């Protein structure tokens, strides 16, 4: 069963995601990130400039696009949908809805912003996971 972690209260969810992805890369984890396209584009840009002395290796994969063989070893993938994930180790959800197919991943990280709408969407996702019997671990973000 997928291990679910909620990281809530992020004042800047993209900056928090960058720190989380850098840490995952340093640990050797393979991560898929799901979010609306506009947010993925901002995350892609942010990752390039995030840490001047630490490159966060990532690639953007659009819906139904095959994984280029030369990029197959890339540890972090920014995806339009989970069905296109080249691996199923860790999933980070930056969207407002439960990610379709999340249950095929070993771990799921839900990043919830500090705004009222973001908190409410996070609560809805929490209730959906809880109603399906998932144990949820929560972490308050202090940024």
At what angle are helices 37-49 and 13-26 packed, to 10 degrees? 60
Write out pLDDT tens, residues 34-73: 999 999 999 999 999 888 888 899 999 988 888 889 998 9
Q: Count Cβ atoms within 10 A of the Cβ of residue 138 and give its class: 0-12 exposed, 13-18 middle, 19 or more buried.
A: middle
Domain boundaries, the chain: 18-70+93-101
pTM: 0.95
Kindly tell me if the per-residue pLDDT of 26 is higher than 70.
yes
Q: State both tokens at 136.
A: 């949820």
- Label residue 107 by pLDDT band (50, 70, 90): very high
């Amino acid at each position: 069963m997928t291990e679910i972690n909620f990281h809530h209260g992020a004042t800047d969810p993209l900056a928090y995601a960058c720190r989380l992805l850098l840490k995952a890369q340093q640990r050797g984890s393979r991560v898929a990130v799901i979010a609306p396209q506009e947010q993925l584009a901002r995350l892609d840009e942010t990752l390039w400039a995030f840490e001047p002395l630490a490159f966060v290796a990532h690639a953007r994969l659009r819906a139904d696009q095959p994984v280029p063989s030369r990029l197959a070893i890339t540890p972090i993938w920014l995806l339009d949908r989970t069905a296109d994930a080249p691996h199923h180790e860790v999933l980070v959800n930056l969207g407002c809805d439960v990610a379709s197919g999340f249950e095929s991943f070993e771990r799921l990280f839900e990043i919830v912003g500090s705004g009222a709408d973001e908190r409410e969407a996070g609560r809805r996702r929490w209730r959906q996971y809880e109603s399906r019997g998932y144990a949820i671990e929560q972490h308050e973000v202090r940024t």
